[in-house]
Structure 1
Amino acid sequence: MTYNYPHTIENSIGEKIIFLKEEKTNSDDKVFFEGFVEPGCGPTFHTHLKQDEELTVVSGKMGYQYFGQEPKYLTAGESVLLKRGSTHKFWAEGEPLHAKGWVSPANSFVFFMTVLYGAQNKSGKGQPETFDGAYLTTKYRSEYDIPEIPSFVKKTIIPFTYFIGRLLGKYKNFKDAPTPVK
C-alpha cells in the first residue's frame, strides 16, 4: 500500500501522527513522523518485533517505560531509542506532548498504525473495533505484539474472531495490505 506524504492519522483517544516521509537506503528504510499526544494518553505496552523506534521530545514531557522497569521521563531535546524486541510504552506526562521520531525498517508500520487508529475510532476507545483488531493481531503477529493480551485470547479468541471476520467479508478493504515480515 502506498501513501502520499505527509499522511496524518488521529485516534479518538488523544493521539495524532503525521507521517512525514519514507527514506530508502541500500540496507534499510525509515519512516519519519511527528506525534502529538494529549496528557495521560499514549499506547499501551507493545513490542515492535522487527523495528527500532526513536522518539525525540520537541515540547512537553514524555514518560516512557520498559516492561518490568520503572518509568523514565524526557523533556525537550531529549531522545530515547526503543530497540526492536523491547516491550515499552510512552505517554504525555502532565501536558501535551509533541515528539518527532522514526521507525526502521518501515515494513508495515504506516499501514498498521493507520488501520489501528481507524479501528480505535470505530470503537471510540483505546481497544480497537473487534474485527479490525483481530485482523491486525493475527495478520501482523510476526511484527507486533501486545503482551498484555492474555495468551488464551491471542491463541484462541482472536484467531477465531479473525476467521469469522473472513467469513463475513469484513476484510475486503484490506486487499492491498502489505505482506507481513516473517
Structure 2
Amino acid sequence: MKTNLPTLPSPTYPHTIENGLGEKLTFLRLQPEPDGDRLLVENTVTPNQGPPMHTHWLQDECLTVVQGLMAYQLLGQPAQYAGPGETVLFRRGTPHRFWNAGDDLLRCQGWIKPAHTIVFFLSAVFDAQVKSGQHRPEQFDAAYLMTRYAREYDMTDIPSFVKRVVIPATYRVGRLLGKYRKFAGAPAPVRE
C-alpha cells in the first residue's frame, strides 16, 4: 500500500532525547566497524531514575561511569554498584536495568553495538513517556513499538498475559484508529 505520508528523517549526530522523567540520552555518533556499527552514547540520569528491566536481544551495551553512582542489576541477581571510572557491560540477551543510586547527577559514556534500530526505538519510547508523563509510555505507541520490534527488545517487567493478549489487542485497535501514521517510514525490524 502506497502512502503519501512523510518518512521519518534519519537523525543527525549528536542527537539528544529526554523522557521528561530524569533521563537524557545523547547519541554522539556512529562508528562503522566490520561486524556492525558501534553507536557512541552519553547519558545523564537524576537520582533514583533509570530504565526498567529490559533486554536488547541483538545488541551489547557498555557504560562507563563518569560522575555519580550507578546501581545495576541483572535479572535474578542482587544489585551491584559502579562509581567513576568503572565500566559495566550488558551482553545481548541479558535482562538488565540500571539507575542513579546517588544523590547527585549520574553521567555515563558508552556504546551500543550493533546499533540497528536503537536510535529510533529509544527516541520513540522517550517521546511516548513524555506524552504519558509517566515511566509507562503512552499505550498505543508502546503497543506499536513492542509489536514491531519484539525480536529486538523486551520489557521484562511486563506480565506475559499483557504481552500475549493486551499489547496485541491494543496494537490492532491503534491500527484501526489510525494511531500509527506518525510512524510511517520507521526502520524495518532487524531479522536475524
TM-score by length of 2: 0.93
1:100 counterpart residue number: 109
In 1, Cα distance between the equivalents of 2:80 and 2:60?
Answer: 19
> Does structure 1 residue 89 correspond to structure 2 residue 97?
yes
Q: Once superposed, what is the RMSD of the aligned Cα atoms?
A: 0.8
Letter in structure 2 aligned against 1:40: N
Q: 1:24-173 maps to which residues of 2 (within 5 A)?
A: 24-94=32-102, 95-173=104-182
Structure 2 unaligned residues grouped into runs of 5+: 1-8
**Identical pairs, percent:** 51
TM-score by length of 1: 0.98
Deviations 1:18-77 (A, max 9, x none): 110012222211111100000000000000000000000010010000011011101111
CA positional deviation for 1:3: 0.8
Name the SS of the counterpart of 2:77 in structure 1: coil
1:8 counterpart residue number: 16
Deviations 1:131-152 (A, max 9, x none): 0000111110000011211111
Name the SS of the counterpart of 1:116 in structure 2: helix
In 2, Cα distance between the equivalents of 1:156 and 1:34?
Answer: 36
CA positional deviation for 1:2: 1.5
Structure 1 unaligned residues grouped into runs of 5+: none
Letter in structure 2 aligned against 1:35: N
In 1, Cα distance between the equivalents of 2:68 and 2:22?
Answer: 15
In 2, Cα distance between the equivalents of 1:177 and 1:168?
Answer: 18
Structure 1: 4+ residue segments shifted above 3 A? none
CA positional deviation for 1:13: 1.0
